[in-house]
Amino acid sequence: MTIRRSAMRQSAPSRNLQKALGLLLMFLLVPLAISCDGLPGKPDISDMPPDPRTLVDPVVLYSENCSGCHGADGTHGAARSMNDPLYLAFVGRERFAEIVDRGVPGSLMPGFGSTQLLSAAQQKAVVNGIYDRWGGSPEGVELPPYSVPALSGDALEASVKRGAEVFATHCTSCHEDASQVTNPTYLALVSDQALRSTVVCGRTDLGKPDWRGLDPSQSLSFMQITDVTNWLASHRTEFPGQSYDQSAQKRILEDD
Ligand code: HEC
Ligand code: HEC
């Protein structure tokens, strides 16, 4: 009994030794732990990329999310220019924000809210940034309505017929070869609304004038805008991009 008790109880000198060893270890390890932070290759907190969902700089948001399609400075992109006060007034900030949120279904324009690519705060920042940088109020201009109800049946047929005349009168001076803008492959890439936006606001970055043309004699009435848009859209085909007989393709699909 006495032997065991003395074995459990440590002598005073050995407890002091343990304390000293503990202190020594601390002095050795603490600087080591601190210096590890500076090891080569370890990223500094300031080098870490910010969480993309917290970024709200409108210029950065535009260049990272929109410029690839709508152009670096909002012009000369594959999709329409955003650096265009007339267009920004035509679409209006509220609808613009809706398009950014939901996208244009069936086109390459993504819905940034529906796909959660951008938070609500980021969408607001990028939309306000575009209007702050490139918006303006075109004075003394009566803008055509952004959209009009779609026509069908005889009304559509009559509109398309008038549209062909509008094109012949107002557009062939530049589009001598109409197939550039009636090509079904081109039409498959754009919605009717995008066609309307193009007819109304043009692509001034590419040299296509807005609905007022190059001089007053070329200005389109609101009805002519709708008619020529319907005429363009009437060239859509069921199987775009295929040059052979489309009725044969249809028969094959129906037989399957
Ligand atoms: C002053 C010359 C000019 C006139 C007039 C003109 N256009 Fe154009 N249009 C252009 C140019 C330039 C382009 C750009 C072509 C390119 O993409 O390189 C273009 C492009 C287009 C596009 C394709 C835009 C796109 O990129 O999505 C459409 C659609 C179009 N025009 C329709 C019309 C219609 C309809 C009219 C008549 C109401 C018309 N244009 C009158 C010069 C003109
Ligand atoms: C992958 C390419 C792509 C990206 C990225 C993209 N867009 Fe688009 N956007 C398009 C295309 C293509 C259209 C035309 C869709 C159609 O046919 O109606 C379009 C249409 C739009 C329209 C409506 C144009 C109209 O005709 O009235 C707005 C507004 C718009 N984009 C804003 C934005 C903004 C803002 C961003 C970035 C936050 C963005 N887009 C990113 C391709 C893109």
Q: Band the pLDDT of 34: cuts 50, 70, 90.
A: low
Closest among 180, 215, 217 to 198, alpha carbons compared: 180
Per-chain mean pLDDT for the chain? 87
Q: Which atom of ligand 2 is nearest to the CA of 127?
A: 35
Cβ–Cβ < 8 Å for 76, 205: yes
Cβ–Cβ < 8 Å for 232, 181: yes
Residue-level pLDDT at 7: 47
- Mutate which of 60, 104, 114, 130 for ligand 2 pocket (most atoms within 8 A of beta carbon): 104
User: Is the pLDDT reported for residue 240 higher than 60?
Assistant: yes
* Ligand 2 geometric centre to CA of 29 (Å): 57
Rounded Cα–Cα distance for residues 112 and 114 (Å) = 6
What tokens were used for 6? 């003395």
Q: Which residues pair with 208 in a beta bridge?
A: 203
Q: For 48-75, what is each residue's pLDDT tens digit?
A: 776 777 789 999 999 999 999 999 999 9
109 Cβ closer than 6 Å to some ligand 2 atom: yes
